[in-house]
Structure 1
Amino acid sequence: MRLHRNLCFAVIDGLHLIFNEGEYADKVIQQLLKRDKRWGSRDRGFVAETVYTIVRYQRLYTEIADVKAPYDRDNLWRIFAVWATLKGIKLPDWKYFTDTPTRKIKGRFDELSKVRKFKESIPDWIDELGVAELGEAEWSKEIAKQNEQAEVILRVNTLKTNKKDLQLKLESEGIETEFLPDHPSALKLKERANVFVTEAFKNGWFEVQDASSQLVADYLEVEPGMKVVDVCAGAGGKTLHLASLMENKGQLIAMDIYESKLKKLKIRARRNGVHNIEMKVIDSTKPIKKLHGKADRLLIDAPCSGLGVLRRNPDAKWKLEPEFIENIKNTQAEVLQQYSKMVKPGGKMVYATCSVLPSENQKQVDKFLNSEAGKDFTFVKDKKVLAYKSGYDGFYMALLQKK
């Protein structure tokens, strides 16, 4: 591989924004990819994948490069040189790479790769937490998998098409996909591609949604005509899936504390041809109280640490703080207590997270069932999805029924 100066400069600029300015990697990469209209898909792929890889392995690469934050541009080039050397890329004779100690880099890599927190590039406290909650062997496999690039998975919008027709339509636009066993609505891309420019996307035939995330709406056992509430809807990936499972019949209430996210859902719903969604901002306790005892089904896709989706958000491990984990557990418990009151007798509720930590998952459900509000519910089943076993994001979901 030959390194091109303008692409490498884009990578360095991106790393500066992520490492020194605290910007989110996905947003930075979106900006970078618009930098030069002459770039082809290979150029854009190089910029995105290189930035993501260096962010994923920030701790390992900075340790090998022997640099400390905040990183000036010379330091960022040293980190880049470590990445290139370990990839076996011949460094051009640019001033940034003068005196790069390639043999020393490889030696340090071999040495540091024996220690998990360096090898998998994670803060000490996350490594300790993972071991405490999952055990040494399981955590080692899970965090290694979380450092792999996530595949692109689509969820077919059954309100507009079916899996086979979507596959054929994408094929006609030059995108090859394959079916996934145990995921009835999923198609996996054989090679990465920008699916958002396709006719199929513009016509609302699919959404991009990980295979594990697609399991959640199915788990809620919705039927057309029901009154269903998605109480932490966000931009509505699971809401739209619920709407298709309900065949656009019945009432689907999407709620969130952020109005801006619900506005995005409105745009997506229009493209998806969904018209049974009502959106409500949770700006006080009033919208919740109005729905007490009214919902046939309730989805609580709770806020969480996100430790099951590090493949998609590799910079999250550097933004997370130990206090955040404790605070989020309190929020989860509160959400279960308050929102569960919306379920009517005989109704069902799913509590879900994109975390792999039992303290955010099974333990939260157990704590709820042993509380005053939880005594009206019975545990039906739960599902724990680990990335290293499934190949997809880490997730948890529990189905509870109100007596």
Structure 2
Amino acid sequence: MRLHRNLCFAVIDGLIQIFNEGEYADKVVQKLLKRDKRWGSRDRGFVAETTYEIVRWKRLYAEIANVKEPFSRDDAWRLFAVWATLKGIKLPDWKYFENTPTRKIKGRFDELSKIRKFRESVPDWMDDLGLQELGESKWTKELAAQNQQADVILRVNTLKTNKKDLQLKLQSEDIETEFLPDHPSALRLIERANVFKTEAFKNGWFEVQDASSQLVADFLDVKPGMKVIDTCAGAGGKTLHLASLMENKGQIIAMDIYESKLKKLKVRARRNGAHNIDMRVIDSTKPIKKLYNKADRVLIDAPCSGLGVLRRNPDAKWKLEPEFIDNIKQTQQEVLQQYSKMLKPGGKMVYATCSVLPSENRKQVDNFLASELGKEFTFVKDNNVFAHKSGFDGFYMALLEREK
């Protein structure tokens, strides 16, 4: 591979924004890709993937390069040189790469690869927490899986088409996909591609949604005609899945504390042809109280640490703080206590997170069931999805039933 200056400069600029200015990697990469209209798909792929790679392995590369944050531009070039050397890419004769100790980099990599927190490039506190909650074997495997690049998974919108027709349509646009066993609505891209430019996407035939995330709506066991509340809907990936499972019949109330996210859901719902969704901003306790005992089904896709989705959000490793995890556990219990009141007697509720930590998952469910309000609920089943077993995101979902 030959390195091109303008592409490398884009990566360096991106790293400075992500590491020093605290910007989110996905937003930075989106901006970088608009930088030069002449870039082809290979150029854009290089900028996106290299930026994500260096973000993912920041701790390991910084240790090898012997640089500390905040990184100067020279430090960022040193991180880049480590990445290129370990990839076996020949460094060009540019001033940024003068005196790069290629042999020393490889030796240092071999040394540090024996220590998990460096090998998997995570902060000490995160490594300690994962070890404490999951044990040596499971945490080691899960961390390794969370450092693999995530596949692109699509969910067919059955309000408009079926899986086979979507596959053929994408094929006509030079995008090859395959079916996934045990995921009835999923297609996996065989090679990465910009699916958002396809006619199939513009026509609302699919959404991009990881295979593990697709399990959640199925777990809620919805039927056409029901009244369903998605309490932490966000931009609505699971809401739209629920709409297709309900065949546009009945009512889905999508709630969130952020109006901006619900506006995105409105646009997506229009494209999907989903007509049974009402959106409500949670700006006080009033919208929740109005719905007490009204819903046949309630989905609580709770705010969480996101430790199950690090492979698609590698910068979260560096943005998360131990205090955040302590606080989020309190929030999880509060939303369980508050939002569960919207469920009718005899109704079903799913509590879900994209975390792999038992303290955010089964332990929260057990704490809820042991509470005064939780005594009205029965635990039905749960599903712990680990990236190292499934090959997809880490997720948790528990199904509870309210007694009649």
Instruction: Please report the TM-score for the alignment, with normalisation by the length of structure 2.
Output: 1.00
Unaligned residue ranges in structure 1 (runs of 5+):
none
C-alpha displacement of 1:186: 0.1
Number of the residue aligned with 1:324? 324
Amino acid of the residue matched to residue 344 of structure 2? K
Question: Which secondary structure does the structure 1 equivalent of 2:170 belong to?
Answer: helix
Number of the residue aligned with 1:219? 219
Alignment of 1:3-402 (within 5 A): 3-402=3-402
Amino acid of the residue matched to residue 117 of structure 2? K
Q: Deviations over 1:23-47 (max 9, x none)?
A: 0000000000111111111111011
The separation in 2 between residues aligned to 1:118 and 1:49, in whole angstroms, is 21
The separation in 2 between residues aligned to 1:46 and 1:260, in whole angstroms, is 31
C-alpha displacement of 1:387: 0.2
The separation in 2 between residues aligned to 1:191 and 1:99, in whole angstroms, is 37
Question: Which secondary structure does the structure 2 equivalent of 1:248 belong to?
Answer: coil
Q: Deviations over 1:91-145 (max 9, x none)?
A: 0000111110000000000000000000000000000000000000100000010
C-alpha displacement of 1:306: 0.1
Amino acid of the residue matched to residue 275 of structure 1? H
Q: Deviations over 1:377-398 (max 9, x none)?
A: 0000000000000000000000
Amino acid of the residue matched to residue 298 of structure 1? V
Q: Percent identity?
A: 83
Q: Deviations over 1:227-281 (max 9, x none)?
A: 0000000000000000000000001000000000000000000000000000000
C-alpha displacement of 1:372: 0.4
The separation in 2 between residues aligned to 1:251 and 1:224, in whole angstroms, is 9
Amino acid of the residue matched to residue 216 of structure 1? V
The separation in 2 between residues aligned to 1:394 and 1:297, in whole angstroms, is 24
C-alpha displacement of 1:192: 0.3
Amino acid of the residue matched to residue 353 of structure 1? T
Question: Which secondary structure does the structure 1 equivalent of 2:11 belong to?
Answer: helix
Question: Which secondary structure does the structure 1 equivalent of 2:23 belong to?
Answer: coil
Q: Deviations over 1:288-311 (max 9, x none)?
A: 111100000000000000000001
The separation in 2 between residues aligned to 1:295 and 1:29, in whole angstroms, is 40
Question: Which secondary structure does the structure 2 equivalent of 1:279 belong to?
Answer: strand
Amino acid of the residue matched to residue 248 of structure 1? N
Question: Which secondary structure does the structure 1 equivalent of 2:90 belong to?
Answer: coil
C-alpha displacement of 1:196: 0.2
Segments of 4+ in structure 1 off by > 2 A?
none
The separation in 2 between residues aligned to 1:277 and 1:321, in whole angstroms, is 35
Aligned CA-pair RMSD:
0.4
Amino acid of the residue matched to residue 76 of structure 1? A
Question: Which secondary structure does the structure 2 equivalent of 1:67 belong to?
Answer: coil
Amino acid of the residue matched to residue 162 of structure 1? N
Instruction: Please report the TM-score for the alignment, with normalisation by the length of structure 1.
Output: 1.00
The separation in 1 between residues aligned to 2:323 and 2:373, in whole angstroms, is 26
Question: Which secondary structure does the structure 2 equivalent of 1:318 belong to?
Answer: helix
Question: Which secondary structure does the structure 2 equivalent of 1:96 belong to?
Answer: helix
- Count of residues paired in the alignment: 403
The separation in 2 between residues aligned to 1:10 and 1:196, in whole angstroms, is 23
